[in-house]
């Protein structure tokens, strides 16, 4: 009905206020030759369908729009639909398309700085993955020519009622659509005047599954399949679509009997022989594609065929019974040269069924796109640690994420497959893709060196050196760990989108961690991997439980606990606690810096994982968790608990009814082993006593003898010094052997061991030094400088060995307390301190006496016997008066006179 001009003007203004977001003064003149032109989207992926109509120079209308969602989808403009131009395109509208669209219609406004003359291709584009969901080539509007894609039926180019014709029709778009089952649809366009019907079968089904559709014999009553004329479609092993004309004579797979008769679900050509292909196979493939695990195949067939024996006439003006089915298909072999459908199985109306259909009536009950549960249906390669993955390059034929470059990566001769790897299991690549292709594993979905696009990426393996050829392949080894994301990408460093996705799944926990031990009572296993500043931990229960917990400490009280459980909505949780008592009120939640936290339950068996720093970064805070420091050199005491329920708030005594470990386990983090908490081992007790005997008694006694007994006539002091030193050194070496034998190894890790090794090394130098002692000077000769230097080295080395040995004793007592938490450690420490204080007092007294004696000798009150110089070592060359005393003694010798009796 015609409207008044003023009403038309009002509606025109309202339209722009609503859809174009322009101010009332703006306008979009219809001067472009594209205005009122309509075309359909070329489906590329995400099941995109629909048509667009350009309204004016600033907007266009989208109708019957179907699409599965992406991550950041926008309207996109480009110069051409190839990889290079689409990748270099630009956003043309501010409207986002980040949702599922089901037969939607809406109007889109271009950005203010975008005009139609800049847009040669209008695409629906996902920016993070550089993916083309579908596009329209606007050059078709300008030239009026068709796209060189497979030609649709003649009726698809007919004009619309308003006189504006569609210059381009996509093969995925047909006029009618009927839902056969949840995952199966039939689409068709009837061209009765040309005796043709175009049929499109669309199903979310497996790659090697068939789709069948056809007409049942009018003569059949209950047995609808017998005598039916159906088309069987699918995809061959090489990914190419096919369609074949079938006739059903029996409910079985097509079989050739001994008498030469053929029965079953067989191609028409099977009945008549290969020479009759052109006469009895009356289906014609028009187009086929598989996107997002949805198969779509379009074919033509005549309504009334020349083959009166195996083809049924289709009366397009009447209702007729049609049958359909989905199921697995068997590839050709030597006996059967055709793809043959197998028994569809499954329930009726899900994988097979029938209905009454009049193809001349307009039907469209297909709301929205088909959405397959698992959209990753391209080749899947599961990495094997023992077999290398051969990486080559080749032409892009069925790349899963268009647009793509002309050359892509192949793995084991499969084009851009999905690669599945396990954490902790090494993956070997044999790179043979050419010197212009450098393989790398990256977090960026496009590759091609993301830094060139000002995008950050994490590179997990590979790089410029990961390139090779078949004659000289390069081996790349990558071991994903527990911190590797669930999805990364293998790509070329030099060109974008040559590779595809890597699916990283959890392997066995032993593969994912460097070390593991079974805790007390064999019910819980602890896994860990140490790094420089952090530790990654996993815990797995060996029995069913509602929660699983481990604690760091000798018991539940005063321990730091980590609890993993599955909450009411099925989500895995891991919380941390400080426990200072034995009731529920003593369990205090803490805040620790846990990363890579995961918790899962498989058949009631709980396992959880986390990574935490060795030293919490709490600053000066006095929170309990700030004291939860893990020393990699000190054994970590671990306990565990399991129970039926847990909650992160309002803990009650019910949560405390659990089964626990009977005793702590001491986990040696750096050695990767563990031992039960127990009393001090006897051999280690002997080790400690022997070290005390050596460093606390014998070796100090030898030093005192050399310092304070030189005034004794003869060499008694020298023998005491030598015997005590050698005895102490032998006991030290025996004690060291006992410790190494008991601990089954020699590990220089703790401070005690470092002090001990240093002290033993210094002590062992002393006998060597004594053996190299310079010759003593002859009677009356001056002492050489070598002798004096030797005295300094010998005395200083011995005293340093003693000091370090004392430090080893005290650090050993600390190590004893950390290792066994002995109740008497503090008492032993005080006893050791008192012992050495008494020794220090004795030394002070002896030093005082020595100074007094030297003073007496200097004033002539010495009791030295003239000429008593049998042993030069009785002279202390390092004493302040040593040289003077020696000279004085020599002078006295030169002044000695022989007294004779007087003869009267």
Domain extent listing, the chain:
37-137, 176-358, 380-506, 509-676, 680-775+784-847
- The count of C-alpha atoms lying within 13 angstroms of the C-alpha of 626, restricted to the half-sphere facing its C-beta, is 7
CB atoms within 10 A of CB 145: 12
Superfamily classification of domain 380-506? Cupredoxins -  blue copper proteins (2.60.40.420)
Query: What string of H, E and C letters represents the secondary structure of 668-685?
Result: ECCCCEEEECCCCCHHHH
Instruction: Look up residue 292 and give its two tokens.
Output: 């997002």
* CB-based contact 443:485 (threshold 8 Å): yes
Residues 6+ apart with CB under 8 A from 759: 695, 732, 801, 804, 805, 807, 808
Tell me the sheet residues that pair with 166: 38
pLDDT digits (tens, 9 = 90+) for 513-531: 989 998 877 889 999 999 9
Q: How much is the average pLDDT of 51-60?
A: 91
* CB-based contact 696:809 (threshold 8 Å): yes
Give the helix/strand (H/E) hosting 729: helix 716-743
Q: How much is the average pLDDT of 858-887?
A: 44
pLDDT of residue 362: 95
Residue with the bigger pLDDT between 477 and 710: it is 477
Instruction: Look up residue 389 and give its two tokens.
Output: 């993955």
Q: Using omega within 30 degrees of 0 as the cis cutoff, is the peptide bond preceding 503 cis?
A: no
pLDDT digits (tens, 9 = 90+) for 759-813: 888 888 888 878 878 777 766 677 777 888 888 888 888 888 888 888 888 887 7
Question: Which whole-number Å values give the CA distances from 272 to 255, 268, 303, 335, 829, in the listed order?
Answer: 14, 7, 21, 16, 103
3-class SS at 504?
strand
How far apart are the C-alpha atoms of 35 and 61, rounded to whole Å? 11
* CB-based contact 242:340 (threshold 8 Å): no
How far apart are the C-alpha atoms of 549 and 537, rounded to whole Å? 12
How far apart are the C-alpha atoms of 599 and 608, rounded to whole Å? 4
* CB-based contact 442:397 (threshold 8 Å): no
pLDDT of residue 820: 56
* CB-based contact 79:86 (threshold 8 Å): no
Output DSSP code: residue 340: E
Going by pLDDT thresholds of 50, 70 and 90, the confidence category of residue 274 is low
Q: Give the residue from 620, 454, 646 showing the smallest Cα distance to 545.
A: 646
* CB-based contact 684:756 (threshold 8 Å): no
CA 536 to chain centroid: 13
pLDDT of residue 862: 40
Q: Give the residue from 713, 716, 704 showing the smallest Cα distance to 845.
A: 704
How far apart are the C-alpha atoms of 251 and 800, rounded to whole Å? 99
* CB-based contact 138:116 (threshold 8 Å): yes
How far apart are the C-alpha atoms of 737 and 746, rounded to whole Å? 10
pLDDT of residue 794: 82
3-class SS at 752?
helix
Give one DSSP letter per residue of 619-672, joined into a string.
Answer: TT---GGGG----TTSPEEEEEEEES---SSS--GGGG--EE-SS-EEEETTTT
* Residue 904 scores a pLDDT above 60: no
How far apart are the C-alpha atoms of 361 and 23, rounded to whole Å? 45
CB atoms within 10 A of CB 634: 19
* CB-based contact 134:66 (threshold 8 Å): no
* CB-based contact 549:640 (threshold 8 Å): yes
Range among 487-501, 562-576, 887-901 with highest mean pLDDT value:
487-501
How far apart are the C-alpha atoms of 133 and 41, rounded to whole Å? 9
3-class SS at 505?
strand
3-class SS at 338?
coil
pLDDT of residue 745: 63
Give one DSSP letter per residue of 239-275, joined into a string.
Answer: S-EEEEEEEESSSSB-EE-TTS-EESEEEHHHHH-GG
In this structure, what are the phi and psi dihedrals at residue 749, rounded to the nearest 5 degrees?
-120, -50
How far apart are the C-alpha atoms of 67 and 497, rounded to whole Å? 23
Residue with the bigger pLDDT between 470 and 869: it is 470
CA 615 to chain centroid: 24
Least confident of 69-73, 443-447, 539-543, 828-832: 828-832
Question: Which whole-number Å values give the CA distances from 863 to 425, 712, 859, 885, in the listed order?
Answer: 84, 11, 11, 13
How far apart are the C-alpha atoms of 831 and 810, rounded to whole Å? 11
Q: How much is the average pLDDT of 736-761?
A: 76
Instruction: Look up residue 826 and give its two tokens.
Output: 């503090």
At how many degrees (to 10) do helices 682-693 and 716-743 cross?
160
* Residue 20 scores a pLDDT above 80: no
Give the residue carrying structure tokens 């200097």: 858
How far apart are the C-alpha atoms of 38 and 41, rounded to whole Å? 10
pLDDT of residue 502: 96
Query: What string of H, E and C letters represents the secondary structure of 780-840?
Result: CCCCCHHHHHHHHHHHHHHHHHHHHHHHHHHHHHHHHHHHHCCCCHHHHHHHHHHHHHHHH
At how many degrees (to 10) do helices 785-820 and 682-693 cross?
150
pLDDT digits (tens, 9 = 90+) for 93-144: 999 999 999 999 999 999 999 999 899 999 999 999 999 999 999 876 655 5
- To the nearest 5 percent, what fractions of the chain are helix, strand and coil? 25, 30, 45
3-class SS at 494?
coil
Give the residue carrying structure tokens 């590990």: 747
* Residue 76 scores a pLDDT above 90: yes
pLDDT of residue 823: 52
CA 678 to chain centroid: 39
pLDDT digits (tens, 9 = 90+) for 600-632: 998 889 999 999 999 998 877 788 889 899 988
How far apart are the C-alpha atoms of 273 and 856, rounded to whole Å? 135
pLDDT of residue 859: 58
How far apart are the C-alpha atoms of 690 and 275, rounded to whole Å? 102
pLDDT digits (tens, 9 = 90+) for 647-669: 877 777 666 667 888 888 889 89
Class of domain 176-358: mainly beta
Sheet holding 524-530, edge to edge: 515-518, 524-530, 534-541, 605-613, 595-602
Fold of 509-676: Immunoglobulin-like (2.60.40)
How far apart are the C-alpha atoms of 490 and 494, rounded to whole Å? 12
In this structure, what are the phi and psi dihedrals at residue 794, rounded to the nearest 5 degrees?
-65, -45
Class of domain 680-775+784-847: mainly alpha
How far apart are the C-alpha atoms of 607 and 564, rounded to whole Å? 7
* CB-based contact 173:51 (threshold 8 Å): yes
* Residue 421 scores a pLDDT above 90: yes
pLDDT of residue 236: 92
Least confident of 131-135, 798-802, 844-848, 865-869: 865-869
Comparing 380-506 with 680-775+784-847, is the CATH topology the same? no
CB atoms within 10 A of CB 91: 14
Which is it for strands 320-330 and 340-341: parallel, antiparallel or unpaired? antiparallel
Q: What does the chain come to in residues? A: 904
Extract the runs of DSSP E, i.e. beta strands, from 567-656: 572-579, 587-589, 595-602, 605-613, 636-643
């Amino acid at each position: 009905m015609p409207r008044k001009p003023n009403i038309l003007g009002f509606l025109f203004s309202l339209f722009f206020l609503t859809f174009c977001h322009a101010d009332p003064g703006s306008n979009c003149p219809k001067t472009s030759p594209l205005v009122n032109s309509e075309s359909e989207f070329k489906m590329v992926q995400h099941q995109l369908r629909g048509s667009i109509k350009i309204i004016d120079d600033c907007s266009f209308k989208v109708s019957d729009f179907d699409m599965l969602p992406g991550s950041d989808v926008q309207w996109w403009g480009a110069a051409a639909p190839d990889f290079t131009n689409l990748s270099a395109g630009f956003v043309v509208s501010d409207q986002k398309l980040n949702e599922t669209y089901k037969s939607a219609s809406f109007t889109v406004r271009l950005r203010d700085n975008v005009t139609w003359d800049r847009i040669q291709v209008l695409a629906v584009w996902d920016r993070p993955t550089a993916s083309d969901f579908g596009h329209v080539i606007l050059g078709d509007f300008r030239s009026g020519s068709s796209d060189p894609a497979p030609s649709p039926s003649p009726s698809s180019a007919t004009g619309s009622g308003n006189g504006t014709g569609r210059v381009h029709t996509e093969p995925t778009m047909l006029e009618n659509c009927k839902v056969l089952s949840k995952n199966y649809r039939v689409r068709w366009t009837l061209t009765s005047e040309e005796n043709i019907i175009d049929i499109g079968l669309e199903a979310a089904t497996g790659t090697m599954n068939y789709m069948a559709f056809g007409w049942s014999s009018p003569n059949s009553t209950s047995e609808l399949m017998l005598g039916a004329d159906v088309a069987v479609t699918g995809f061959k092993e090489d990914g190419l679509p096919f369609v074949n004309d079938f006739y059903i004579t029996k409910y079985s797979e097509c079989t050739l009997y001994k008498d030469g008769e053929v029965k079953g679900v067989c191609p028409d050509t099977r009945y008549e022989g290969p020479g009759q292909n052109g006469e009895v196979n009356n289906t014609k493939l028009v187009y086929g594609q598989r996107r997002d695990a949805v198969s779509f195949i379009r074919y033509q067939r005549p309504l009334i065929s020349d083959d009166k024996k195996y083809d049924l006439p289709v009366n397009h003006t009447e209702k007729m019974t049609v049958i359909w089915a989905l199921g697995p298909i068997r590839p050709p072999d030597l006996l059967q040269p055709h793809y043959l459908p197998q028994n569809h199985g499954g329930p009726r109306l899900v994988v097979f069924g029938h209905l009454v259909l009049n193809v001349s009536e307009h039907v469209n009950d297909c709301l929205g796109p088909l959405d397959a549960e698992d959209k990753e249906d391209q080749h899947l390669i599961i990495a094997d640690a023992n077999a290398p993955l051969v990486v080559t390059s080749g032409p892009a034929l069925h790349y899963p994420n268009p647009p793509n470059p002309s050359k892509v990566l192949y793995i084991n001769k499969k084009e851009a497959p999905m690669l599945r790897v396990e954490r902790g299991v090494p993956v070997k690549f044999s790179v043979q893709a050419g010197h212009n292709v450098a393989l790398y594993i990256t977090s960026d979905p496009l590759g091609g060196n993301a830094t060139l696009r000002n995008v950050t990426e994490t590179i997990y393996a590979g790089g410029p050196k990961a390139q090779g050829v078949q004659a000289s392949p390069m081996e790349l080894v990558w071991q994903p760990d527990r911190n590797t994301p669930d999805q990364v990408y293998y790509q070329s460093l030099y060109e974008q989108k040559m590779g595809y996705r890597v699916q990283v799944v959890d392997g066995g926990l032993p593969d994912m961690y460097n070390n593991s031990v079974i805790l007390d009572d064999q019910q819980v296993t602890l896994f860990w991997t140490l790094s420089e500043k952090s530790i990654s931990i996993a815990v797995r229960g060996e029995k069913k439980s509602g929660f699983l917990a481990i604690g760091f400490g000798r018991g539940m009280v005063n321990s730091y606990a980590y609890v993993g459980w599955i909450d009411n909505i099925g989500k895995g949780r891991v919380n941390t606690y400080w426990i200072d008592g034995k009731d529920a009120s003593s369990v205090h939640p803490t805040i620790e810096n846990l990363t890579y936290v995961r918790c899962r339950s498989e058949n009631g068996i709980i396992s959880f994982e986390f990574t935490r720093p060795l030293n919490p970064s709490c600053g000066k805070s006095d929170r309990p968790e700030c004291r939860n420091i893990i020393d990699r050199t000190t054994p970590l005491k671990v306990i565990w608990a399991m129970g039926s329920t847990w909650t992160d708030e309002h803990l009650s005594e019910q949560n405390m009814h659990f089964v626990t470990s009977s005793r702590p386990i001491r986990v040696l983090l750096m050695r990767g082993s563990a031992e039960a908490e127990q009393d001090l081992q006897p051999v280690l007790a002997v080790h400690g006593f022997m070290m005390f005997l050596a460093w606390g008694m014998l070796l100090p006694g030898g030093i005192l003898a050399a310092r304070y007994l030189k005034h004794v006539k003869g060499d008694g002091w020298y023998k005491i010094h030598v015997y005590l030193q050698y005895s102490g050194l032998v006991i030290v070496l025996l004690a060291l052997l006992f410790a190494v034998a008991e601990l089954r190894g020699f590990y220089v890790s703790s401070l005690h061991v470092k002090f001990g090794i240093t002290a033993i090394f210094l002590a062992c130098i002393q006998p060597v030094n004594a053996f190299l002692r310079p010759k003593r000077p002859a009677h009356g000769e001056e002492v050489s400088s070598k002798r004096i230097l030797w005295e300094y080295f010998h005395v200083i080395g011995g005293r340093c060995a003693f000091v370090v040995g004392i430090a080893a004793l005290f650090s050993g007592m600390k190590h004893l307390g950390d290792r066994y938490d002995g109740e008497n450690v503090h008492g032993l420490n005080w006893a050791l301190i008192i012992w050495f204080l008494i020794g220090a007092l004795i030394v002070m007294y002896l030093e005082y006496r020595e100074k007094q004696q030297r003073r007496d000798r200097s004033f002539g009150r010495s009791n030295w016997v003239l000429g008593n110089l049998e042993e030069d070592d009785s002279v202390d060359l390092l004493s302040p008066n040593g040289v003077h005393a020696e000279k004085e003694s020599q002078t006295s010798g030169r002044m000695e006179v022989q007294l004779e009796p007087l003869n009267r």
